[in-house]
A and B are shown apart, each in its own frame.
Chain A
Amino acid sequence: MIIKVNNLVKRYDELIALDHFNLEVREGEIFGLLGPNGSGKTTAINCILSLLKYDKGTIEIYGRPMAPDAYDIKRNIGIIMQNVAVFDELTVYENIDYFCGMYIFDKQRRRELVEEAIEFVELDSFRKFLPKKLSGGLLRRLNIACGIAHRPKLIILDEPTVAVDPQSRRKILEGIRKLNEEGATIVYTSHYMEEVEEICTRIAIMDKGKVIASGTKDELKGMINSGEKLTVEILEFNPNILEGVGSLPSIVSVDYNENNNMLVAKSRRGKNNLSALLEYLRNNQINVGRIYSEPPTLNDVFLEITGKELRDHV
C-alpha cells in the first residue's frame, strides 16, 4: 500500500472538513478522488502531505507515518497543486531546475531530468519564457513539470485541469497516463467525472469530507440500482406514452424533452431493458427515430448515493 489514511478528522472551527476520512492507494494505480467543490478533496491531500494540521487519524505513506520532516518519504513524492506554484521572476527552465534541485543534488543528473521534464510537457520552445508570458494551459504544464521533474514514485495532482483549454487538458491527461506507464503511482483529484472515469483505475467519491463510495468505475456503477439511460426520439408524442413507459417494471424514471422530441428513461440495473422499452413502443405503434443507450455514469452513482447531482456543485 502506498498511501493509507485512517479515520482522518479535520475541523475548521465548527466546520468539519474531513469526517473520518479513509483512503487506500495501491502501488501502480491511477487513483481518482472525485467530489464536488468543497467536498474536502484538497484538504485531504494537504493533510496527507503534512501541510495541514489535523485533529485525528493516521496517515501512512510507504508504510511509514507521514510527518513534515519525513524527508525520505517526501523525496519520492511529486505534487502538482490546484494553483500554479511557480516563481514569476524565473524562466520556465529555471523554475523547473529550482524545484528539481530540491530533490536532485547532482548537477548533471538534474540537467538531464529538467530537459526530460521540458520535453514531457512540450515546453521546449518556451524554456526562456517568464511565466507571465505563458497562456493558462502552458502555465499548467509548467506547473506539472515542476512537480514531476525529479521522477517521483508517487505523484499527486490536485485538480490540474481547472481552467485549461481542451487541447492542453488532453495533453495533461495523456501525460498522466504516460507517467503511470513509466511506473509512477498517481493520485488524481477532480470534480470532472469524465476525466476521472477516463484515466483512473480506482476511484473514491467524496462528499462532505467523507468517502461515500470507492472501487473501480465498474464496481461503483455496480453499487447502484440504476441501469443504463435509454434515449428514444418520439416522432408523434402524446402524454400517454410517458405514463405507459413509466409503468414498465424495468424503468425507474422517464421524461420527455419537447425541444428535441427525445424521451429519456432511466432503467433499473438488469438485462434487456432497451428491448423491453422498444417492445412496448412497437406494441403501441409509436413511431420512433434515433435510439441511444448509455451505461450509468459516476454522476448517477453520486446522485443515487447522495440524492444530488455531482454536476450541480461544479
Chain B
Amino acid sequence: MFLHIYLYRLKCIIRDKQNVFWTLMFPLILATFFHLALSNISNMESFTEIKIGIIDNEELREHKEFTEIIESVPDLFNVTYVSRTNADKLLEDGTIEGYIHFDGGLKLFVRESGINETIIKSFLDDYMQTTSTINTILSQNPAAIQDGLPDSLFDRKDYLKAGSAGKSEPNTVMNYFYTLIAMTCLYGSFSGLKEVTALQGNLSYQGARMNMAPVHRAKIITASMSAAITFQLLVVSTVLVYLIWVLKIDFGNQTGYIALTSLISTVTGVTFGTFISSVNRKSEGVKVGILIGTTMTMSFLAGLMYDKMKYIVHTKAPVLSFLNPANLIADSFYALYYYDTYTRFFSNIALLCGYSVLFGALTYLAVRRQRYASI
C-alpha cells in the first residue's frame, strides 16, 4: 500500500511540468547565470603580473644586479626591454604600466596612479634603499663584503607565518552557490504543498476521494511526503552534479557530509511546504505565493542576492540566522568548506532536523483531522 501510493505520487510530482521547472530548471538557470556573472569577480580578485618596461641603455648594463633582481621575481613583473621612444609609446597605449630608466640614477615613469604603479615604486624604493645601505657599509667597512653581507641584505625572510582559519582559501563567490543550493532544497516546499493539497478533502476533490479510502491517514501522509522528498533529493543531486561537474564549483571533497546536508535540508524544505499548505485554507495560488515569498526572503537573508547580507544579519540580528533554514543550509556548506572542525556544521544540521520535526509534526496535527467543518 505504502509503495503503491508512493510510486503514484512520485509519478504525479515528476509529471507536473510547472513544479519541475521551478524546482529544477530555475536553480540550474540561476546557477548558470551566477557562474557567468561571478566568475569575472573571481578573475578580478586574482593577481596577474605587472607589465613593465626597462630602457635598454649603457647605464642599465652597468647595473647588472638590478637586472638580476628584477628578473628573479617573474610572478611580480613581466619585463620588456625597450628603447625610450618605444617605452613612451607602450605606456601611452597601456601595454605597460610603467617603465624604468637608468638616466643618471633610477627613474620611474608611470601614466597614472594605482595599485600596480605603487607596487613598482615600492619595489624600486626597496632596491634603492638596499643598494644605498650596501654602498654605505662598503665605504665604512669593506671587510663586510667578505662576510656575505650584501647577499643577506637582499635576502627577504618572513618572520610571521600566515595561517588560514580554514582549510580552503576564502572565496566570496562560494556563498552565492551555497545559498542557491539552500534555495533549491527549500523549493521542495512546492512538492510538499502539492502533496498536502492532494490528500486534504477540504482542499481538493481528489483529497475528498482519498479521505474515503480505507487507508490510515499517517500511511498516506508518509508515502506522499516520501515521494516529495525523493523527487527533491533527485533535484538537489542534479543541481549539485551540475555545479560540481559542469560549472566546476569546488565544494571540497566531503561527499558524505554534503549528501547528509542535502538530505536534511530537503526534508526541511518539503516539511516547510506541507506545513504552510496544511495550516491555512487559502487557494493553492495564494499558498504558492506565500512559499515563493518566504523562500526568496530566506534566501536573500542568507546572501543569495548580496553576499554581505549573511554577515549583516549575523551581526545585526543574529537570532534570524538561526531561525532562517536557508541560512542554516548555506552555512552548513560554508562550515564544511572552510572549517577543520564540525561543531558549526553539526549545530546547523541539528537545528535543521529540529525544524523538520517541528514542521512535520505540525503538518500531521493539521492533516490528521479527517472530518472538515466545510468542503
Q: Which residues of A contact B (CB under 8 A)?
A: 12, 46, 49-53, 68-69, 71-72, 74-75, 77, 79, 81, 83-87, 89-90, 94, 98-99, 101-103, 105, 146-147
Choose from A69, A71, A83 the contact partner of B205 (Cβ within 8 Å): A83
Tell me, in angstroms, the Cα distance from A71 to B212 when the chains sit together: 9
Shortest CB–CB separation between residue B208 and chain A, in angstroms?
A: 6
Question: Binding site of A, secondary structure by majority: helix, strand, loop or mixed?
Answer: loop
- A81 / chain B contacts, CB cutoff of 8 Å: 205, 208-209
A97 to B, closest residue via Cβ: B8
Shortest CB–CB separation between residue A93 and chain B, in angstroms?
A: 12
Tell me, in angstroms, the Cα distance from A90 to B4 when the chains sit together: 14
**Do A90 and B11 touch (CB < 8 A)?**
yes
Shortest CB–CB separation between residue B169 and chain A, in angstroms?
A: 46
- B209 / chain A contacts, CB cutoff of 8 Å: 79, 81, 85, 99, 146-147
- B206 / chain A contacts, CB cutoff of 8 Å: 85-87
**Do B205 and A51 touch (CB < 8 A)?**
no
- B198 / chain A contacts, CB cutoff of 8 Å: 87
Tell me, in angstroms, the Cα distance from A75 to B213 when the chains sit together: 7
B212 to A, closest residue via Cβ: A79
Tell me, in angstroms, the Cα distance from A105 to B1 when the chains sit together: 7
Tell me, in angstroms, the Cα distance from A102 to B199 when the chains sit together: 13
Shortest CB–CB separation between residue A162 and chain B, in angstroms?
A: 13
B213 to A, closest residue via Cβ: A102
Interface contacts (Cβ under 8 Å), in number, total 83
**Do A50 and B15 touch (CB < 8 A)?**
no
**Do A98 and B8 touch (CB < 8 A)?**
yes
- A90 / chain B contacts, CB cutoff of 8 Å: 8, 11-12, 15
Chain B, range 347-375, C-beta contacts under 8 Å to A: 370-375
State which size class the interface on B falls in. 20 to 34
A72 to B, closest residue via Cβ: B214
A49 to B, closest residue via Cβ: B212
**Do B371 and A87 touch (CB < 8 A)?**
no
Q: Mark B7-37, 1 if CB is under 8 A from A, else 0.
A: 0100111011000000000000000000000
Q: Mark B184-217, 1 if CB is under 8 A from A, else 0.
A: 0000000000000010010011101111111110
**Do B1 and A85 touch (CB < 8 A)?**
no
**Do A51 and B201 touch (CB < 8 A)?**
yes
A51-B371, A52-B374, A53-B373 known; A87-B211 Cβ under 8 A: no
Tell me, in angstroms, the Cα distance from A85 to B209 when the chains sit together: 7
B194 to A, closest residue via Cβ: A89
- B205 / chain A contacts, CB cutoff of 8 Å: 81, 83-85
- A101 / chain B contacts, CB cutoff of 8 Å: 1, 4-5, 8
**Do B212 and A77 touch (CB < 8 A)?**
yes
Chain B, range 236-281, C-beta contacts under 8 Å to A: none
Tell me, in angstroms, the Cα distance from A55 to B214 when the chains sit together: 24
**Do A89 and B11 touch (CB < 8 A)?**
yes
**Do B210 and A50 touch (CB < 8 A)?**
no
- B11 / chain A contacts, CB cutoff of 8 Å: 89-90, 94
**Do B213 and A53 touch (CB < 8 A)?**
no
**Do B1 and A74 touch (CB < 8 A)?**
no
Choose from B8, B13, B208, B214 the contact partner of A85 (Cβ within 8 Å): B208
B17 to A, closest residue via Cβ: A89
